[in-house]
Amino acid sequence: MSERPRVTIWNEYRCEREREDVAAVYPNGIHAPIARYLRDHGLEVRVATFDDPEHGLTVEILEQSDVLIWWGYTVHNEVSDDIVERVHRRILEGMGFIALHSAHYSRIFRKLMGTSCSLNWRDVSEKERVWVVAPGHPIAEGLGEYFEIPHEEMYGEPADIPAPDALVFVSWFSGGDIFRSGCCYQRGRGKVFYFRPGDQVYPTYYQEEVLKVIYNAVRWAAPVEIAPILSRERLQPLENIET
């Protein structure tokens, strides 16, 4: 496992520049506090945004990324086919992928899941309590039994996602809903983690526990070294066959 994974944070970086309420919370972008935390903890971090050439996701940048973090909301359907295909291919090759909050509706996440990824939602600034249901999982490392986010948008079940390979967190909302908010998947050789919190109008990404989860997820999702597949057609049997 890579000792020092190289992380690329992809942020659409639109609402922070277009909406005052969001700019007030994230003046340098939603990616800024995440990037700072990961760098402070020794990771190599790069930022890419929707308005960069090729959305900032060139072949070179993806090849140099061990883990890609994705935050998107308003431009999901403007991300080009080519980039979706390119990111998908790179995940199947082994790059880790962490989808944050509204990234559940991104084209790349829906492509990875094979479902609609629809869910219930409500934005009335309610309390979210994130419970750890897999206390031995590396993504829960260093947490207590739960942590609270004072104000958040609600995402509720039933969410149209495949059953996760491992369910790490379940959220309780004061409005009466629950949500599977930390979900692990394997796709090809790449590890995928969905993490629910992080609506743009709340200071969620300044909260220590939330940042710790993202850090843990990066460590967990970093690729393992594995032999490449040279050929798929195996004309020569591995054993002598009596025919």
Q: Could you say which residues in the range 148-177 bind its own copies, by CB under 8 A?
A: 154, 156-160, 162-163, 165-167, 170-177
Do 152 and 197 touch, CB atoms closer than 8 A?
Answer: yes
26, β-bridge pairs: none
C-beta of 54 vs 164, nearer to its own copies = 164
CA distances from 109 to 84, 162, 164 (A): 9, 12, 13
The DSSP element (H or E) to which 190 belongs, if any, is strand 190-195
Distance between CA atoms of residues 151 and 140, nearest Å: 21
Identify the residue whose tokens are 């883990």. Answer: 67
C-beta of 14 vs 107, nearer to its own copies = 107
Stretch that binds its own copies, among 12-20, 28-36, 65-73, 115-123 (CB under 8 A): 115-123
Of the candidate residues 38, 79, 87, 113, the single one contacting its own copies (CB under 8 A) = 113
Stretch that binds its own copies, among 6-14, 50-58, 207-215, 227-235 (CB under 8 A): 227-235
Query: Which one-letter amino acid corresponds to residue 152?
Result: E
Q: How far is the CB of 214 from its own copies (least distance, A)?
A: 16
Task: Please list every residue from 176 through 215 that binds its own copies, using CB under 8 A.
Answer: 176-178, 180, 185-191
Of the candidate residues 132, 149, 183, 210, the single one contacting its own copies (CB under 8 A) = 132
Measured at the alpha carbon of residue 27, what is the angle toward residues 97 and 66, in degrees to the nearest 5? 20
Q: How far is the CB of 107 from its own copies (least distance, A)?
A: 12
Task: Please list every residue from 73 through 102 that binds its own copies, using CB under 8 A.
Answer: 92, 94
Q: How far is the CB of 67 from its own copies (least distance, A)?
A: 13
Stretch that binds its own copies, among 25-33, 36-44, 47-55, 107-115 (CB under 8 A): 107-115
Of the candidate residues 7, 99, 100, 143, the single one contacting its own copies (CB under 8 A) = 143
For residue 161, count other CB atoms closer than 10 A to its CB.
21
Query: Which one-letter amino acid corresponds to residue 239?
Result: E
The length of the chain in residues reads 243
Dihedral over Cα of 144, 149, 155, 156: its sign: positive
**Under the criterion CB under 8 A, does residue 20 sit at the interface with its own copies?**
no
Torsion of CA 101, 87, 37, 173, to 10 degrees: 10
C-beta of 178 vs 201, nearer to its own copies = 178
Q: How far is the CB of 124 from its own copies (least distance, A)?
A: 6
